[in-house]
Amino acid sequence: MTSLAEKVQQELIQAIENDELVLPTLPEVALKVREAAEDPNVGIADLAKVIGNDAALTARIIKVVNSPLLRTSKEITDLQMAVGRLGINYTANLATGLAMEQMFQATSDVVDKKMREVWNKSTEIAGICHVLCKHYTRLLPDQATLAGLVSQIGILPILTYAEDHSELLADSISLNHVIEAIHPIIGDKILRTWDFPEPIACIPSQFLNFQRNSAKADYVDIVQVAMLQSYLGTEHPYTKLDWSTIPAFAKLGLDPNVDMKEDEDLSDAMEAAMSMLQ
């Protein structure tokens, strides 16, 4: 690791330990949606009213419900019908995940480009998570999708820090070292600050632990396999690992040598899942 990366890493870790690192806050609409969904008396009309205050999010939810992955024979054009079709929990998780895109924006072009890359990768992973969850587990696809979207959330404060420190921004090798080393720790901290449930909150720090072996398949396993599958066909170092030694594949009942994109049905489903998030 370069001396600059080491210095920045120490500074950031110290800031985390002293609670001095400015963590991103969830967009207001996501907070209101989650608050509404946690009310045991909330109805479909109530949740639709909260989401309806954000025109962009309303349009995204309607787009999702009409996507090839979820659509029925009748097109849905009304937000209340869309919430009714998806259900309250599914809608809340989806709205939270989609609203997060607002956070991946920066004032400098370099950082903005990097944030776009991170968000695009997160949506790709989330789309694969949705399909893996539906086809290989009994877990909830909306939770799996959200898990994929938040897996790299810890990168955000590092890029915000880089925006204020030109020497780090100018040295992409050091920046990547810092991101790889620290984003898992920061990610967990952000999700716990946001009061995410533990099965999701632990994902940033756990999904890159390829020897992790929980008692049964969980959202970490789904994100881990989805992330690895997303790099197939590239020169990424993860493609050089021996995937047969990674317990997550066995727990999902998935052959580590199989490229999901080669299965026409799975490939179509993944494309549909990714496009509904973009």
194: which 2 tokens? 């946001």
Cα–Cα distance, 72 to 45 (Å, whole number)? 21
Residues 6+ apart with CB under 8 A from 35: none
The answer to whether residue 19 sits within a structural domain is yes
CA distance 212 to 157: 26
Backbone phi, then psi, for 196, in 5-degree steps?
Answer: -70, 150
CATH number at residue 218: 1.10.3210.10
pLDDT in the model for residue 276: 79
Residue 30 inside a domain? The answer is no
What pLDDT, on a 0 to 100 scale, did the predictor assign at position 1? 63
Alpha-carbon distance of 230 to 275, in angstroms, equals 15
Considering the domain boundaries, does residue 270 fall inside one?
Answer: yes
Q: Which residues of the chain have pLDDT under 70?
A: 1
Whether 96 is in a domain gets the answer no
Instruction: Give the CA-trace dihedral at 103, 104, 106, 110, to 10 degrees.
Output: 170
Residue 172 structural domain: 3-24+105-277
Q: How many domains does the chain have?
A: 1
Residue 184 belongs to some domain of the structure: yes
Rounded to whole angstroms, how far apart are CA atoms 245 and 262? 22
Q: Is residue 121 part of a domain?
A: yes
Main-chain phi, psi angles of 94, to 5 degrees: -65, -45
Q: Is the dihedral of CA 6, 223, 116, 188 positive or negative?
A: negative
Query: Is position 29 within any domain?
Result: no
Rg (CA), the chain: 19
Q: Is 148 within a domain?
A: yes
